[in-house]
C-alpha cells in the first residue's frame, strides 16, 4: 500500500517540515504541497492525491474549498490539520464528509495514523478532542429529534382529517365505523403526541403540522 498524499498550509516552515517528515514514510508518497485554497484545488486537478491534508487558516475560503473538494473529488479524502480546537467547525466539517480532524498539537504519529485511516475509509479525530466532538454531535442529534413532530399512524391520520372537518367524536366514529369510545382513546393519544391539553389546542397543533401525505413520506 502506498498512499498518495498532499499537504496545504500557509506556514512555510511547518509545511516544509511536514513534507520532509512524511517523505520518509514507506507507506506514503508526498505528491504535492501548497499554501492556499487555490493551491489545494489545483493540486486536486493536477495530482489527484488519495488524501489531502489542509489547514483551516489559509488565504481563501477554506470551508468553501473543502465543500468543493468533497463534491467534485469524492475519491480524495480530506483531513483538516489545524490549531483550532473550536467544536462547532469540527462538527460541521465531519458531518459534511471530511475524513479526519487533527489538532496541530498532536504527534506526528497521530497525523500519520489519520492519513492511513482516511485512505482506508475511516474517520480519525485527535483522541483527546474526539470525545468533545462526539458529545456535541449526539447532543445536536437529540435536539433535532426533539424538534421533529411525532409521526402519526394511519388511523390517527384519519382522525386528524375528520377533526379538521369539524366533526364531533360521534360523527368521526360513525364515518370510520369505530365506537365513540375508541375515538376518545385516539384523541387522548393525539393530545399526548402533540403535547396539547384539549381539543382546541389539538386542532391548532394539527393545522400547524404538514399535510398527512407529506408526513407519510418524511
Q: State pLDDT tens for residues 106-157.
A: 999 999 999 999 999 999 999 888 888 888 777 766 666 555 556 777 888 8
What is the reported pLDDT for 144?
60
How far is the first Cα of the chain from the last one, in angstroms, to the nearest whole number?
Answer: 43
C-alpha cell at 192: 399526548
Tell me which of 152 and 216 has the higher pLDDT: 152
pLDDT tens profile 6-57: 999 999 999 999 999 999 999 999 999 999 999 999 999 999 999 999 999 9
In this prediction, residues 173-189 reach a mean pLDDT of 88
Tell me which of 187 and 52 has the higher pLDDT: 52
Strands (E), 10-140: 28-34, 51-54, 77-82, 100-103, 124-125
What is the reported pLDDT for 100?
95
Domains and CATH numbers, the chain: 3-145 (3.40.50.2300), 154-217 (1.10.10.10)
Judge whether 187 and 169 are in contact, CB under 8 Å. yes
pLDDT tens profile 63-116: 999 999 999 999 999 999 999 888 888 988 988 899 999 999 899 999 999 999
pTM: 0.65
Residues 208, 218: Cα–Cα separation, whole Å: 16
User: CA of 54: how far to CAs of 15, 21, 174, 187, in Å?
Assistant: 10, 16, 66, 56
Helix (H, G, I), strand (E, B) or coil at 56: coil
Residues 18, 197: Cα–Cα separation, whole Å: 63
What is the reported pLDDT for 217?
39
Amino acid at each position: 500500500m502506498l498512499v498518495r498524499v498532499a499537504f496545504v498550509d500557509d506556514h512555510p516552515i511547518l509545511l516544509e517540515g511536514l513534507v520532509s517528515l512524511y517523505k520518509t514514510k514507506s507507506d506514503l508518497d508526498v505528491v504535492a504541497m501548497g499554501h492556499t485554497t487555490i493551491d489545494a484545488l489545483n493540486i486536486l486537478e493536477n495530482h489527484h492525491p488519495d488524501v489531502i491534508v489542509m489547514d483551516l487558516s489559509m488565504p481563501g475560503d477554506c470551508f468553501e474549498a473543502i465543500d468543493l473538494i468533497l463534491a467534485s473529488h469524492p475519491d480524495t479524502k480530506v483531513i483538516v490539520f489545524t490549531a483550532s480546537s473550536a467544536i462547532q467547525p469540527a462538527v460541521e466539517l465531519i458531518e459534511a464528509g471530511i475524513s479526519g480532524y487533527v489538532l496541530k498539537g498532536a504527534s506526528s504519529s497521530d497525523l500519520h495514523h489519520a492519513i492511513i485511516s482516511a485512505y482506508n475509509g475511516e474517520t480519525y479525530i485527535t483522541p483527546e478532542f474526539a470525545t468533545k466532538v462526539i458529545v456535541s454531535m449526539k447532543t445536536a442529534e437529540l435536539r433535532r429529534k426533539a424538534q421533529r413532530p411525532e409521526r402519526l399512524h394511519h388511523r390517527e391520520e384519519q382522525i386528524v382529517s375528520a377533526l379538521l372537518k369539524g366533526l364531533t367524536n360521534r360523527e368521526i366514529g360513525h364515518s370510520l365505523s369505530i365506537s365513540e369510545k375508541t375515538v376518545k382513546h385516539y384523541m387522548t393519544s393525539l393530545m399526548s403526541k402533540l403535547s396539547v391539553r384539549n381539543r382546541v389546542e389539538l386542532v391548532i397543533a394539527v393545522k400547524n403540522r404538514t399535510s398527512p401525505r407529506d408526513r407519510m413520506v418524511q
